[in-house]
């Protein structure tokens, strides 16, 4: 049984409620996660605000996405020489705690200088590709779908290219067909647009 | 036309990942404050006996099962509201819940008390005559919920003084029907793996029967029976058998059309790996019908996982897309009949089976069981062995069946929502007619190779609505003895929600634009309508209190088809002179 609704956005009020209730529910996890996340800061930056485009910013990410990615690294559905090893010793609770910690950290603006023309073209492409049907308006993310607004430019480019080349395959068959329709220039433009979102 | 009209282009529409995280909230019971007139609590504790549940279909006072009776006919024997006076039907009250989200509930009504549910597993107890709230229960949702098609709930079941509800975080809860107090709670399955509950349970002889959602997440489906007294698991029937799920390598579907399988390749793939039964899907979305004489339950099983990509799940994928008969007391297999083997279109079996007597091929009346398919056919089976007696003419346009999905997208009708979705049909025994809510949504089917993603949405491709092609709905009245449509009533929007037939010769159903309508059961003539302000996509019910008949319909819209959301239960009765 399935669904093919076209544009389903929770209202911002509902989202705010969800966020508020989620954070309340996980207050304890956040403190536990802070302690467990110390090793992550070397690459992902203080409070999960990455200072290097090789590594994603984790601050403000949805907790469910972070948790699922850690689990996928641990269980081999997603592969990265560093992250696969880092995730190995983590228990389920560790992953939940770390995910909740980063989800609760404020996302800080990067020093990325967006190209106005590329931002415009990128936005048009994301409209056409219906990205926000899952990622929600302005790429705020929801549940298992990541927030990508304000993510590091180089990291966005790398993920889209990895999906396109089927190097990253842990998305259940949704991002690969999307990325396959994007040209190199599209990816560049889309990344300019998304990286510039706040 | 419909709400589907949009300025956005669907060049590359991948189906929305729409698992909403459950709102973590404290379980709470609230009484209504500040309203006068009558007691604020239920004065007499409900106590629904098994004999009442067995005889539910033959009486007019209570609506005791989601689909009216164990046969799931959704037929109400009252005649007070009828073709002659339905034009005088007026809203008696509107009850507004605090949850403005997709509403699919069928209220249960006992001795003038209505029990209804909302998205996110709220339960309300109301005075069924005045709309006064007695209590309000909010399920304490766990942190992880995984579900594809909206945070829906389709209602409670009742036995004795207990209500039973399945939850989005895959729990079963029992509530005190008088107070709304939680009596026990048990885990049905692990929500992190994609299990969730939206269906109403069915209760019989102290057993609470419930299936599971999750065919879009690589679950292994089941129907489970729990002890109504304490929530202990009594038996589990897996809808995916560990051995034998490859079936008979069927070439054709139930209607004899070739499904274009590469069976040699599938056999080779099965020889390499047959361990995928753990993630083969097979959700059960709607209530089973119960034959109390033969102690048999009948339910239909949903699609295999992943929906569109079949290469790594070779075989017929039993018992997906099938009707299955199981022993009520032991949970053991009796028979199955598969409509589509190795489905790669998600045209699965969802609408709940209905028990009836129907003419067999030789014209003799036999106990039968029928199902309205997403394919657009109503299938009528012998109840004793599952043999297909007949399938109806196509209720909606079919085209290109069964073209295989491609990377670029292959056009085929019906689209992946059907035909008949989860929408329960109603059955009028005198007219021999089944009433089915159909959708017409032209789509292209796209396939994408994809490994099990670990509890994430797993379609293995995409369904895309075709830009510019009109979508619409059809309520079809199908003669169960001939398979021919007696009449059809076309609607502006695709139809989703329940049908209700009455001895007053009326068929009630709702539309996404808010119209709740009554048609003449024999002719399909539109006799009455009322716009309730949000999508009328729940399941209508009827009951009577002190001799006065009522019809109730939830109007909260629908996530799956993005119909306008609301939060109302609207109850109708004939205007008093």
Domain stops at, among A103, A138, A158: A103
Shared domain for A134 and A62, answered yes or no, is: no
CA distance B337 to B387: 7
Measure in Å the smallest separation between the Cα of B311 and chain A Cα atoms: 14
Structure tokens at B359: 């003419």
Q: Is residue A15 part of a domain?
A: no
CA-closest candidate to residue B416, choices A160, A185, A3: A3
Residue B543 has pLDDT above 80, yes or no: yes
CA distance B459 to B304: 10
Residue B130 has pLDDT above 90, yes or no: yes
Cβ B306–A143 below 8 Å, yes or no?
A: no
Residue A96's CATH number: 1.10.760.10
Residue B366 has pLDDT above 80, yes or no: yes
Sorting pLDDT into bands at 50, 70 and 90, what band is B127? very high
When scoring A172, A177, A179 by the number of chain B Cβ atoms within 10 A, the one with the most, hence best to mutate, is A172
What does the pLDDT look like over B438-465, one tens digit per residue? 999 999 999 999 999 998 889 998 888 8
Q: What is the 3-state secondary structure (H, E, C) of B142-194?
A: CCCCCCCCCCCCCCCEEEECEEEEECCCCEEEEEECCCCCEEEEEECCCHHHC
Q: Is residue A1 part of a domain?
A: no
Signed CA dihedral, B180, B185, B188, B192: sign only: positive
Q: Is residue A13 part of a domain?
A: no
CA-closest candidate to residue B493, choices B508, B515, B476: B515
For residues B383, B387, B390 and B392, what is the CA-based torsion angle, rounded to 10 degrees? 70
Shared domain for A128 and A98, answered yes or no, is: no
Q: Is residue A4 part of a domain?
A: no
Does B307 reach chain A within 8 Å, measured CB to CB?
A: yes
Shared domain for A83 and A135, answered yes or no, is: no
Which residues partner with B510 through β-bridges?
A: B516
Predicted local confidence at residue A6, as pLDDT? 40
Shared domain for A91 and A34, answered yes or no, is: yes
Q: Is residue A11 part of a domain?
A: no
Residue B10 has pLDDT above 50, yes or no: no
Predicted local confidence at residue A26, as pLDDT? 59
Which of B12, B350, B416 faces A181 most closely, judged by CB atoms? B12
CA-closest candidate to residue B322, choices B342, B306, B301: B301
CA-closest candidate to residue B199, choices B231, B217, B221, B178: B221
Shared domain for A96 and A132, answered yes or no, is: no
Shared domain for A91 and A136, answered yes or no, is: no
Which of A2, A144, A181 faces B216 most closely, judged by CB atoms? A2
Cβ B448–A173 below 8 Å, yes or no?
A: yes
Shared domain for A83 and A32, answered yes or no, is: yes
Does B298 reach chain A within 8 Å, measured CB to CB?
A: no
CA distance B213 to B145: 11
Predicted local confidence at residue A181, as pLDDT? 87
Partners of A4 on chain B (C-beta within 8 Å) are 15, 415-417, 441, 443, 463-465, 560
Shared domain for A86 and A123, answered yes or no, is: no
Predicted local confidence at residue A136, as pLDDT? 82
Partners of A21 on chain B (C-beta within 8 Å) are 23-25
Does B306 reach chain A within 8 Å, measured CB to CB?
A: yes
Shared domain for A96 and A151, answered yes or no, is: no
Average pLDDT over residues B552-569: 95
CA distance B281 to B449: 17
Q: Is residue A7 part of a domain?
A: no
Average pLDDT over residues A194-198: 94
For A15, the enclosing helix (H) or strand (E) is: helix A12-25
Q: Residues of chain A with pLDDT > 90: what percent?
A: 69
CA distances B148 to A169, B15, B17, B193, B449, Å, are 20, 10, 7, 13, 20
What does the pLDDT look like over B202-235, one tens digit per residue? 999 999 999 999 999 999 999 999 999 999 999 9
- B180 in Cβ contact with B137 (< 8 Å): yes
CA distances B209 to B48, B156, B205, Å, are 17, 12, 11
Sorting pLDDT into bands at 50, 70 and 90, what band is B143? confident
Average pLDDT over residues B284-293: 98
Measure in Å the smallest separation between the Cα of B392 and chain A Cα atoms: 21
Cβ A2–B6 below 8 Å, yes or no?
A: no
The mean pLDDT value of chain B amounts to: 93
Predicted local confidence at residue B285, as pLDDT? 98
Q: Is residue A8 part of a domain?
A: no
Q: Is B80 exposed, middle or buried, given 0-12, 13-18 or 19+ CB atoms closer than 10 A?
A: middle
Q: What is the 3-state secondary structure (H, E, C) of B9-72?
A: CCCCCCCCCCCCCCCCCCCEEECCCCCCCCCCCCCCCCCECHHHHHCHHHCCCCECCCCCCCCC
Query: Residues with Cβ < 8 Å from A20, sequence gap 6 or more?
Result: none
Predicted local confidence at residue A142, as pLDDT? 82
Shared domain for A91 and A30, answered yes or no, is: yes
Structure tokens at A74: 């641990």
- Total structural domains in chain A? 2
Q: What is the DSSP letter of B569?
A: E
Domain stops at, among A103, A125, A151: A103
- B247 in Cβ contact with B341 (< 8 Å): yes
Higher per-residue confidence, B213 vs A22:
B213
Domain stops at, among A77, A103, A129: A103
Does B352 reach chain A within 8 Å, measured CB to CB?
A: no
Partners of B374 on chain A (C-beta within 8 Å) are 1
- B140 in Cβ contact with B121 (< 8 Å): no
Does B450 reach chain A within 8 Å, measured CB to CB?
A: yes
Q: Is residue A146 part of a domain?
A: yes
Structure tokens at B118: 């909302």
The order of strands in the sheet holding B322-327 is B289-291, B296-300, B322-327, B333-338
Structure tokens at B398: 């079919």
Predicted local confidence at residue B29, as pLDDT? 72
For B391, the enclosing helix (H) or strand (E) is: strand B388-391
- B468 in Cβ contact with B448 (< 8 Å): no
Predicted local confidence at residue A1, as pLDDT? 62
Measure in Å the smallest separation between the Cα of A176 and chain B Cα atoms: 8
Range of the domain at A59: 23-103
Shared domain for A28 and A64, answered yes or no, is: yes
Q: Which of the residues of B are catalytic?
A: 346
What does the pLDDT look like over B51-95, one tens digit per residue? 999 999 999 999 999 999 999 999 999 999 999 999 999 999 999
Partners of B148 on chain A (C-beta within 8 Å) are 2-3
Predicted local confidence at residue B2, as pLDDT? 33
Measure in Å the smallest separation between the Cα of A92 and chain B Cα atoms: 11
CA-closest candidate to residue A170, choices A138, A146, A152, A135: A146
Does B215 reach chain A within 8 Å, measured CB to CB?
A: yes
Predicted local confidence at residue B28, as pLDDT? 65
Predicted local confidence at residue A7, as pLDDT? 35
Does B305 reach chain A within 8 Å, measured CB to CB?
A: no
Shared domain for A33 and A83, answered yes or no, is: yes
Cβ A4–B465 below 8 Å, yes or no?
A: yes
Does B354 reach chain A within 8 Å, measured CB to CB?
A: no
């Amino acid at each position: 049984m399935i669904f093919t609704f076209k544009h389903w956005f929770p209202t911002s009020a509902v989202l705010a409620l969800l966020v508020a209730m989620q954070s309340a529910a996980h207050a304890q996890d956040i403190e536990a996660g802070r302690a467990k996340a110390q090793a992550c800061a070397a690459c992902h930056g203080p409070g999960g605000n990455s200072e290097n485009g090789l590594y994603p910013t984790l601050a403000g990410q949805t907790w469910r996405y972070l948790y699922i990615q850690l689990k996928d690294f641990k269980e081999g559905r997603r592969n990265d020489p560093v992250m696969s090893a880092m995730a190995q010793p983590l228990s389920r609770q560790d992953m939940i705690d770390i995910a909740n910690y980063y989800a609760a950290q404020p996302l800080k603006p990067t020093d990325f200088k967006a190209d106005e023309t590329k931002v415009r073209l990128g936005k048009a492409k994301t409209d056409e590709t219906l990205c926000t049907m899952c990622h929600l308006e302005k790429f705020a993310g929801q549940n298992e779908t990541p927030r990508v607004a304000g993510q590091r430019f180089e990291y966005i480019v790398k993920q889209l290219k990895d999906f396109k080349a089927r190097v990253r395959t842990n998305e259940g068959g949704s991002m690969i067909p999307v990325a396959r329709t994007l040209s190199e220039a599209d990816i560049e433009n889309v990344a300019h647009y998304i990286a510039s979102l706040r | 036309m419909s709400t589907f009209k949009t300025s956005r282009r669907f060049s590359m529409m991948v189906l929305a990942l729409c698992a909403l995280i459950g709102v973590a909230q404290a379980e709470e019971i609230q009484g209504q404050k500040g309203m006068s007139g009558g007691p604020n609590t239920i004065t007499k504790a409900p106590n629904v006996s098994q004999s009442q549940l067995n005889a539910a279909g033959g009486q007019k006072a209570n609506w005791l099962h989601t689909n009216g009776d164990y046969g799931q006919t959704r037929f109400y024997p009252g005649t007070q509201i009828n073709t002659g006076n339905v034009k005088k039907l007026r809203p008696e009250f509107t009850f507004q819940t605090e949850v403005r989200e997709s509403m699919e509930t069928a209220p249960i009504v006992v001795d003038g008390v209505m029990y209804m549910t909302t998205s996110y597993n709220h339960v309300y107890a109301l005075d069924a005559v005045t709309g006064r709230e007695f209590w309000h229960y909010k399920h304490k949702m766990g942190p992880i919920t995984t579900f594809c098609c909206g945070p829906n709930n389709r209602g409670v079941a009742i036995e004795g003084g207990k209500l039973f509800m399945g939850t989005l975080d895959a729990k079963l809860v029992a509530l005190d029907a008088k107070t709304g107090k939680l009596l026990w709670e048990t885990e049905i399955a692990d929500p992190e793996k994609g299990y969730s509950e939206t269906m109403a349970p069915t209760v019989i002889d102290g057993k609470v029967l419930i299936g599971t959602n999750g065919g879009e997440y690589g679950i292994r489906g089941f129907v489970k029976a729990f002890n109504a007294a304490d929530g202990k698991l009594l038996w589990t029937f897996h809808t995916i058998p560990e051995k034998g799920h490859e079936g008979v390598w069927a070439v054709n579907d139930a209607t004899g059309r070739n499904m274009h399988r590469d069976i040699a390749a599938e056999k080779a793939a099965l020889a390499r790996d047959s361990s995928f039964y753990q993630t083969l899907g097979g959700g059960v979305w709607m209530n089973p019908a119960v034959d109390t004489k033969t102690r048999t339950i009948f339910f239909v099983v949903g699609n295999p996982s992943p929906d569109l990509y079949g290469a790594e799940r070779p075989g017929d994928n039993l018992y997906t897309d099938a009707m299955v008969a199981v022993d009520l007391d032991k949970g053991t297999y009796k028979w199955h009949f598969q409509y589509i083997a190795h489905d790669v279109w998600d045209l699965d079996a969802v609408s709940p089976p209905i028990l009836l007597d129907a003419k067999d091929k030789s014209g003799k009346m036999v106990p039968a069981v029928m199902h309205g398919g997403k394919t657009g056919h109503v299938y009528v089976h012998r109840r004793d062995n599952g043999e297909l007696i007949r399938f109806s003419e196509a209720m909606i346009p079919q085209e290109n069946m069964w073209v295989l999905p491609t990377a670029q997208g292959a056009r085929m009708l019906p689209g992946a929502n059907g035909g008949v979705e989860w929408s329960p049909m109603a059955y009028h025994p005198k007219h021999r007619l089944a009433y089915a809510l159909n959708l017409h949504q032209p789509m292209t089917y796209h396939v994408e190779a994809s490994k099990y993603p670990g509890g994430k949405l797993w379609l293995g491709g995409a369904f895309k609505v075709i830009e510019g092609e009109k979508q619409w709905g059809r309520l079809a009245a199908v003669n169960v003895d001939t398979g021919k449509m007696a009449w059809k009533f076309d609607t502006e929007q695709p139809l989703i929600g329940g049908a209700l037939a009455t001895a007053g010769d009326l068929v009630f159903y709702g539309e996404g634009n808010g119209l709740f309508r009554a048609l003449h059961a024999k002719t399909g003539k539109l006799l009455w309508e009322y716009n309730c302000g949000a999508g009328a996509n729940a399941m209508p019910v009827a009951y009577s209190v002190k001799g006065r008949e009522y019809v109730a319909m939830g109007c909260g819209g629908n996530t799956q088809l993005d119909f306008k959301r609301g939060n109302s239960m609207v109850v109708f009765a004939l205007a008093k002179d």
